[in-house]
Structure formats: C-alpha cells, structure tokens
Structure 1
Amino acid sequence: MKKRLSFLLFIAALTAGGIILFQCYWVYNTYKAGEQNLNRLLLNALQKSVENYHVQQSDLPATLKLPSPYLSVLETSPVDTDKTLKVVFGDIKHTPSIAKIEQVPVNPENLQRVKAMLAATQFMSATLMNNTQLNTLKAIFKNELGRNNIELPFNLVLLKPEQKLPHNKIAAYINYAKNSPIVEAVFSNKGQMLLVQNIVPAVISLILIMLSAGSLCYMWIIIRRQMRLDDIKNDFISNITHELRTPISILKSTNEALSRYGGIGEPEKAERYLKINTVILDKLDHNVDRILDITRYESGDKLARPIEVNINEIIYAGIEKFTLDGKNNIEFLNPSAIKEVLTDSYMIDTIISNLVDNAIKYGGENVKVTITINSFEKGWELTITDDGPGIDQKYLPFIFDKFYRVPSGNLHEVKGYGLGLSYVKQLVASLNGIISVKSMPNSGTTFTIKFPER
C-alpha cells in the first residue's frame, strides 16, 4: 500500500513539476516576445521621427501642400537619329532630345513617404546635429511615441558613425550619407512597462503555478493521511484482537469449568464464575455502547441535555470511583468557588472519567492527577493535569482521532481501543466546548476544556 501511494505521489510530483516548469517557460517567452514587439515599435517610431525631422527641416515643393498634391517632373526623350541632324564637334557627338514638364499627381496615402524621399536627398552630408536640432528631433520622437500610447522617459544620444547599427539598441541613422552619425534612444523604465503589459498572463500563470503546487501539497497531505489511517487501522485491528482475546479466553474458561468440571453442581463456585462473566460482558457492552455513542453524537442522533447541576458533586463522585482502593492520588481544586453550572451531568462525568482513567493507566501507580475548575468571563474551565510520562509533540495533533493510539510498536502494555480521547472530544463538542492539550515527554500532560456559560 505504501509503495503504491509513494509511486502515485512521485507521478503527481513529476506532473506538477512539469506544469510549473512549462508555466515558467511560457511566462518567460511571453515577456521576451513583448520585449521584442516593444523594441520593434520603438525603433519604427524613431525611424519615422527622423524622417519627419528631415521633412520639417527641408525645402519641399509647394505643390505638395496643395489639396491635390503633385510633382512637376521633367521628362526627356531622345530624337530619332534617322530623321534628325547629328552635330559633330570633333570627338564629341550630341544626340538631340525633346524635354517636357509633366505634372504627376501624388496619392495622399503616399504623400508622407514622398516627402521623406525628397527630404532625404537634401540630407546626404554626414554632419552632426547640434543641441537645438537634437531637441527638435526629441520633441518629434515624443509626439510619435504618444501616438502609439507609449509614455516612457527617454533621452537621445548621438553615437559615432558605424557601418552597422548597434545590435539590440533603439538606434537609427540621422541621414543617408555613407558615414552617417547614429542617434540612440535610451529608455529608463522600459522593463517596468513590459511588466505592466505582461501582468495579466503573469498573474494567471502564477495562479496556475500556485494551484499546481497547492494541489500537490494537498495530495501529499491526503496521501499521508491515508497512510496514517492505514497504520491506525492495522494498529486498531491488532489492539482489538488483543483486547477481545482476553475476555473471550476468560469466558471460555469459566464456561468450560461450569460445563466440564462440575462447577454447575457447586452453587458458590457457579455464582463466582457467573459474576466474573457478568463483569467481562459488562465491559464489552460498555465498549460497544461507547462506539455507538460516538457515532450517535457525530450524526446528531444523541444530543446534550444541559441542566443546572452541582459541579462539585459530579467531580467528587468521579474521583471516588478511582480512589476506593486508596491507591490513586487525585486532587480537586476549585479556586473560583464554582457551584452550579449549566451542563449535561452524564457527559461531564464521562469526560472526567475518561481523562482520569487515561492518566492513571499511562502514568502508573504513583501518578498524581489534579482536577481544577475555574471561571472566566464567558464561561467556566475544566483542567485535568497529571505528572505522567507525557506525549511527544509530534503525536499531539492526532490523539483525538478515532482509534488512534500513540505508537509503541507491537507492545500493548496499556489496554485500549483508541476511543477514549475521541469520545471525550465528541462529548466536549456536543456541549459547545473547546478542548486543548499540552504535553512534553517526561513532563506530564494537561487537558484544558472551556465551556460556555450558556
């Protein structure tokens, strides 16, 4: 069973790990793709700003500003040499040609591109920009970024002429000369903008990662709980086998003595054997009733019946059951002088009896048990303390579980089914109380139960 659960856990961990790695990889790729798109957008904006700067600084034909823009183009065509006279001056030959001016309309959609091409012909020198020109380009670039809904602080830096533009930088040539200077746009908060743009997929991925990790952790808890329940089941079967074997052996022996060895003919002996059988059967009946009571309280079939009772009388009656032989040391303290409380007397007696019985069984003959009741603002408190061997911290979260017993190997020095504390917790819950425990190995155990006033 444990090997199978461990294998399932390994498969689940492998699957969850793969999902987490994939989500991290997807988030990284999304971020890099967003970075590339932003760089491409910024580069296009810078190149367009340089073109617009050229257009603003150049003298373009006035015809491009008309409602129907056009360009005047000088078109020349050679004259047919068979029909014209060739003029020869030494080695220089001149072929006559015909020239004419035509008006070429410009499509408004291509107007900006035409302006940029014409402006480019006027910026063929490799001269550097001065500060005024650079500020003008900066203003144009800022407007271009605004048109693309980009608001990032930036600065323009002039670089030395290079054959190629710097890699992974937002840079463009200033003009069309062979050794043109380069202008670079340096942004200060580009990473922050990328994070804002990718925040939604990043958050979704983070949620998926957390869900995957949480599911894996929850699965691990369930598997551990299942393994623990399996151990409890095996321990319970082992315990109940040992606990039932003793009364069965006693009943079998007394029955055999009565039937085979003439015990039925001796009234005194028969009566003694029958009393022994009655005690054994009463104990078995009590344990069966306790199991049934736990089920009834859990399902709500059996409810508490609180009435005004004298709590001192209930506690003294409970102590008396354990001190008849004078062996057990049990002390009762009532510093708040509480007398009447609203509770179910049967449940309180059962709670005290179970906790005191556990303290005596596990603490030995010399254990000291102290029962204390105190009042507080919203109710009253019952505390049962012993100076026994105590319980290891790692077992405390499970001691109220049904059928759970603190592991002790295959030894069963103390008889029981692992029902006592589970039964106590169910009774406390039925009375709307809260039970807690503090214990350390070799330092004793303290159970504290708080009950509401009403």
Structure 2
Amino acid sequence: MKKRLRYIFFIAAFTAGGIIICQLYWVYFNYKTARSNFNQTATLSLRQSIDSCLLGQDTLPASLADKKPTLTFMMTQKANVMRAAARDSAVRPRQPTYTMQLNTVEINEDQLPGVRTLVARLFSQRSNKALSLEKLNHFFEKELLRNGITEAFILTIERSGRSLLPGGIEATVTLNKEPVIVKAELKNRNAFFLKMNFLPALVSTLLIVLSAGSLYYMGRIIKRQMQLDGMKTDFINNVVHELRTPLTILKSSNEALSSFGAAGDEASLKRYLGINTLVIEDLDNNIERILDFSRSEQGRRLPVTETIDLVPVLHQAQLRFSQVNNASITIMADEAPFPIVTDPVMLGIILTNLLDNAIKYSPQQPVIGIAARRGDKKWQLEVSDQGMGIPRESLPYIFDKFYRVPTGDLHDIKGYGIGLTYIKQLVTDLNGNIEVASKPGKGTTFTLTFYQ
C-alpha cells in the first residue's frame, strides 16, 4: 500500500511540476512575444515618423500634389554647337544649345506615398539638411498614438558607424555623408513591461498556486484516508476485544453453573451471578456509549438546560474517581456556590470521560486537578493531569473519530477512539469549545469554555 501510494505521489508530483514548468514557460514566452511585437511596432512608427519629418522639411514638386499626380524625368541631354562659315571667320562663334528628352510618368495613388518619401529623401540629401529632433519627436508621438502606443519615449541621434542593434527601436538615416542612427528608448521601461505582462503573470501565478494547492490537498486527503483506514481497523479490533473478553467471562461462568454444579451451591451461584451482572452492565454501558455518540453526532440529542451548582457535581466526580488507582484529585473553584446553566447529564458525561482518560493515561498514581473559573459571560472548566502526555504531531487529530494516539505494538489502554470526539460534540452542543495543551512526560490539560 505504501509503495503504491509513493508511486501515486511521484506521478502527481511529476504532473504538477510539469504544469508549473509549462506555466512559467508560457509566461516567459508571452513576455518575449509581447516585447518583440511592441519593439516591431515602435520601430515601424519611428521609420514612418522619419519619413513624415523629411516630407515636411522640403518643398516637393507641385505635380505630385495634382489630382492626377505626375513626375517628370530627364531621359537624355545633347549639346549642339553651330559654327560660322569660313568667310565669317572673323565673327565670334555662337553659344552651344542643348536638346533634352523628358518623360512624364503618372503616379498611382497606392504608389504616391512611397514616391513622395523617396523624393523627400533625395531632396534632403541634396540640400544636406540635418534632421530636426524636435519635429521628429512630434511626428513620432503621432505615429505611436496611431498604432495604439501611449508610452513616452526619448529620442536620441547617434553619429556612429555601428549597425542596428537586434531588438532595439532604431532606424538609420542616410541624409549626409555619414549615416546617423535615430534611437528611441522608453522612459519607464521596466514599469511598462511589468504592466504589459501583469495580467498573464497573474493568471499563470493563480494556476500555479491552484496546481500546487490541489496537489497538497490531494496529498492531505490520501494521507487522511490512510489514517481513517488504520483507525477503522483499530476500532474494529478494539470492539472485538472488548466484546470477546466479557463473552469469555460469561461463557466460563455459564459453564461453571451448568457443568460443575455451581448452581447447587448458593454462595457460588450468588458470586457467579454477581460477576455476570457486572459484565452485562459493562457491555450495556459500552453499547449505550457508542449509541449516545451516534445520536449526538446526528444531532438527535438536544441539551436540556437548567441552573445547577457546579461545586457539588465536581465533588461527586472527585469521590467517585478517587477510588480508582488511588487517584489524587484536587478541586479549585473561583466561588462557592458556582451557579451555571447547563445540561447536567451532558456535563456529567464530559467530566466522566475526561477524568477516566486522565486516570488511564497516568502510568503512576494519577494526580489530577480540576479548576472552575468565572469570566465575562462565560465560565471555564479545566482538567489537568501529570500523565504520559500527547505527542505534538498527534494533537491536531485527538478529537477525530476513532483516532487513538499511536503506542507502537503496545495496546495496554482500552478504548474505541470516540471518547474525545464525543466530548467535543457535547461541548459544542452546550455552546462551548475545548482546547488541549500537552507535553510528553509532563501531562495534559483540557480547557473547556462555555458561553452563557
């Protein structure tokens, strides 16, 4: 069973680890993709803003602004020199004339922006004008807004011969003899990328937490089921043991009465009948205890409250249990009488179970203390002993049904594992709560708080 459980845990841990790794990779991939898309969009906006800025620096041919835009090119040029006749050699020769062949091309509307940009670049290169950073910044902001980017950038111009950096927001401008690089940088780079990836990171974090939480919860459930299975087995073994012992006594007594003539001896008959009566009463009490616990758990038993004095109840319990293993029981009360409103039957069951446990789990002579205290709209009952105590790892489970503190292979202490569960249920029914503090070898203290 443990080997199979370990195998299941390994598979579950491997699956959860895979999910967590996939989520982390998804966040990283989403971040890289978003950053790459953002840089591409910003770079395109920068190039478009450079073109727009160049278009505004020079006056373009008026033909490009017509309804039907055209552009005229000079195809060829030829010089013609006219010489005078010989008789007119004294006459000075004329200036040469030129013949040019021009070609006018109509510009398609789809091609017009590219042509305008090309002409603007040529004019800027011819005039050797420097790029205005202020105007460029104005066009760049407009292009960013048009592409849905509202972040603030800082533009700089670098006059160097280096190549463009991969992943950077840069563009080369070749207007002069030495090309320049226009570089755009975010003012709040880290804050922007954090904001841009906050939602995917949040979703991924939630999924990771849910995956880890589900694995942890599943482990708790499996561990709890194993504990319940072990407690169920212990409960069945304890019930069988508790039933087999009195049945053996009854069987022996009945055999003595029927086969060995004990029925004819009045003294022997009375002794065996007395033994049988005690055994039957003990069986009846155990059965009634289990039935009471079942009825209380199902909520079919409601408290019947009345006003009683707590001090006589404590003294009666002291008198009854002080005769068991020579127990030393001390009572302390803030006041006498100590009037309370409670169900006396339920309170008696609670006190009986606590004292019984204190005696059973005290290997030497039991030393028990009972204290009653009055508070603001509440009262407390404290039962402490100097017994073997409860290990820290077992404290969270002692009120669970059928749970018994592990004692290895020793089973010297009888019980079904329902006593403390029954006590907690009764305390809850009486509008109270129960707390426990214990140290192994030092003893245990149960504190019951009831609210009036």
Contact 2:46 2:170 in 1 (8 A): yes
Which residue of the partner structure matches residue 207 of structure 1? Answer: 206
CA distance in 2, matches of 1:44, 1:338: 91
Contact 2:363 2:388 in 1 (8 A): no
Q: CA deviation at 1:324?
A: 4.2
* Residues 100-156 of structure 1 deviation map (CA, whole Å, 9 limit, x = unaligned): 56472552x5443322111011233796947xx223222322232232232333322
Contact 2:246 2:279 in 1 (8 A): yes
Could you tell which deviates more after superposition, 3-12 or 366-375? Answer: 3-12
Which residue of the partner structure matches residue 20 of structure 2? Answer: 20
Contact 2:308 2:341 in 1 (8 A): yes
Could you tell me which amino acid in structure 2 is paired with residue 120 of structure 1? R
CA distance in 1, matches of 2:255, 2:127: 122
* Residues 182-214 of structure 1 deviation map (CA, whole Å, 9 limit, x = unaligned): 121122323432332332222222221111111
Q: CA deviation at 1:98?
A: 8.0
How do 1:73-92 and structure 2 match up within 5 A?
73-74=72-73
Please tell me whether residue 249 in structure 1 is matched to residue 248 in structure 2. yes
Q: CA deviation at 1:221?
A: 0.6
Which residue of the partner structure matches residue 428 of structure 2? Answer: 429
Q: CA deviation at 1:10?
A: 1.9
Question: Matched residues, percent identical?
Answer: 40
SS of 2:26's equivalent? helix
CA distance in 2, matches of 1:103, 1:123: 22
CA distance in 2, matches of 1:100, 1:378: 110
SS of 1:124's equivalent? helix
Could you tell me which amino acid in structure 2 is paired with residue 419 of structure 1? I
Which residue of the partner structure matches residue 121 of structure 2? Answer: 120
Contact 1:126 1:177 in 2 (8 A): no
Aligned residues: 437
CA distance in 2, matches of 1:437, 1:241: 30
* Residues 60-102 of structure 1 deviation map (CA, whole Å, 9 limit, x = unaligned): 1234445x25224247699xxxxxxx99x9xxxxxx9884564
SS of 2:361's equivalent? helix
Could you tell me which amino acid in structure 1 is paired with residue 294 of structure 2? T
Contact 1:236 1:417 in 2 (8 A): yes
CA distance in 2, matches of 1:208, 1:269: 76
Please tell me whether residue 104 in structure 1 is matched to residue 106 in structure 2. yes
Could you tell me which amino acid in structure 2 is paired with residue 29 of structure 1? F
Which residue of the partner structure matches residue 448 of structure 1? Answer: 447
Distance 1:64 1:334, change over 3 A: same
SS of 2:340's equivalent? strand
Contact 1:163 1:179 in 2 (8 A): no
CA distance in 2, matches of 1:77, 1:124: 23
CA distance in 2, matches of 1:31, 1:51: 30
Distance 1:277 1:123, change over 3 A: same
SS of 1:275's equivalent? helix
Which residue of the partner structure matches residue 418 of structure 2? Answer: 419
Contact 1:125 1:175 in 2 (8 A): no
CA distance in 1, matches of 2:324, 2:25: 74
- Normalising by structure 2, we get a TM-score of 0.89
CA distance in 2, matches of 1:111, 1:257: 123
CA distance in 2, matches of 1:400, 1:58: 89
- Normalising by structure 1, we get a TM-score of 0.88
SS of 1:7's equivalent? helix
Could you tell me which amino acid in structure 2 is paired with residue 363 of structure 1? S
Please tell me whether residue 141 in structure 1 is matched to residue 132 in structure 2. no
CA distance in 2, matches of 1:351, 1:282: 20
Distance 1:249 1:178, change over 3 A: farther
CA distance in 1, matches of 2:75, 2:178: 34
Could you tell which deviates more after superposition, 41-50 or 13-22? Answer: 13-22
Could you tell me which amino acid in structure 2 is paired with residue 121 of structure 1? L
Contact 1:126 1:180 in 2 (8 A): no
CA distance in 2, matches of 1:285, 1:357: 18
Please tell me whether residue 374 in structure 1 is matched to residue 373 in structure 2. yes
Distance 1:74 1:122, change over 3 A: closer
CA distance in 2, matches of 1:145, 1:16: 42
Which residue of the partner structure matches residue 42 of structure 1? Answer: 42
CA distance in 2, matches of 1:326, 1:443: 19
CA RMSD of aligned residues (A): 2.8
Unaligned runs of 5+ in 2: 84-97
Which residue of the partner structure matches residue 187 of structure 2? Answer: 188
Could you tell which deviates more after superposition, 318-327 or 399-408? Answer: 318-327
Which residue of the partner structure matches residue 234 of structure 1? Answer: 233
CA distance in 1, matches of 2:127, 2:294: 95
SS of 1:409's equivalent? coil
CA distance in 1, matches of 2:26, 2:431: 51
Contact 1:323 1:329 in 2 (8 A): yes
Please tell me whether residue 10 in structure 1 is matched to residue 4 in structure 2. no
Please tell me whether residue 157 in structure 1 is matched to residue 156 in structure 2. yes
CA distance in 1, matches of 2:206, 2:268: 76
CA distance in 2, matches of 1:326, 1:199: 69
Distance 1:163 1:329, change over 3 A: closer
CA distance in 1, matches of 2:181, 2:119: 21
Contact 2:128 2:175 in 1 (8 A): no
Could you tell which deviates more after superposition, 109-118 or 354-363? Answer: 109-118
Q: CA deviation at 1:33?
A: 0.4
Could you tell which deviates more after superposition, 250-259 or 208-217? Answer: 250-259
Distance 1:126 1:445, change over 3 A: farther
Which residue of the partner structure matches residue 83 of structure 1? Answer: none
How do 1:272-287 and structure 2 match up within 5 A?
272-287=271-286
Could you tell me which amino acid in structure 2 is paired with residue 395 of structure 1? S
Q: CA deviation at 1:2?
A: 2.6
